[in-house]
Structures are given as C-alpha cells and as structure tokens.
C-alpha cells in the first residue's frame, strides 16, 4: 500500500499542470489526488509498514469534509487527508515532518 501511495504522490507532481490566473501572485493549479473509501485509507495508514497516527484534524469552512494529518513519529513520514463520511482523498505524502516552530525551509 505504501508503494501505491508513493506512486500516487509522484503522479501528482509529474502530471501535466494547467495554470489559470486567479490573482496577481496566485494561480489555480489542477492537482490529481488519490481517493478511496476512508475506512480503507485509515486501515492502510495504521498498517505496520506505514504506522502513521493522526496528530491534527480540522473541518472545512462549510463543514462538509474533514482534514487530518497523520505522522509516523519514528520515520517522520506523513500523510495529509481530506475526507467525508465514506470517501477520503490523499492530498499529499512525504517525510521529514517536524514541528513548525522547528521548521527549516529547504
């Protein structure tokens, strides 16, 4: 499952990106995301080889969906999700997670 997540994340960055101007310094960029049944996603994140735990959660402004960040404290891997009652979408995955007060921009 981790390989699927990694491939999906890589696909997000290597896919063709079309830019539409939103403001003078902002652009709206279509971003393909991997979505599936939320119970399957939660189960996969809890599996031994991923072992990510939720560390933050919040609701969208319209309260129609939730957001969560899962982190593996030993490996610093993380996953960012947006989800509803039945479906969820992986917005991003990565590594080297750290507390923001310790954040060093690359």
Which tens digits make up the pLDDT trace of 47-78? 999 999 999 999 999 999 999 999 999 999 99
Q: Please state, as a whole number, how many other Cβ atoms lie within 10 Å of the Cβ of residue 96.
A: 10
Rounded Cα distance, 105 and 68, in Å: 22
From its phi and psi, is residue 51 left (phi > 0), alpha (psi between -120 and 50) or beta?
A: left
* Token pair in block for residue 16: 């063709």
Domain ranges of the chain: 2-15+31-99
What is the pairing mode between strands 20-21 and 27-28?
antiparallel
- Check pLDDT > 70 for residue 18: no
């Amino acid at each position: 499952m981790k390989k699927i997540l990694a491939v999906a994340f890589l696909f997000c960055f290597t896919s063709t990106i079309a830019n539409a101007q939103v403001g003078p310094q902002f652009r709206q960029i279509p971003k393909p995301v991997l979505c599936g049944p939320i119970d399957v996603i939660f189960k996969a994140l809890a599996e031994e080889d991923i072992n990510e735990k939720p560390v933050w959660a919040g609701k969208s402004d319209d309260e129609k969906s939730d957001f969560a960040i899962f982190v593996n404290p030993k490996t610093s891997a993380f996953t960012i999700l947006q989800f509803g009652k039945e479906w969820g979408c992986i917005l991003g995955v990565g590594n080297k997670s750290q507390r923001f007060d310790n954040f060093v921009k690359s």
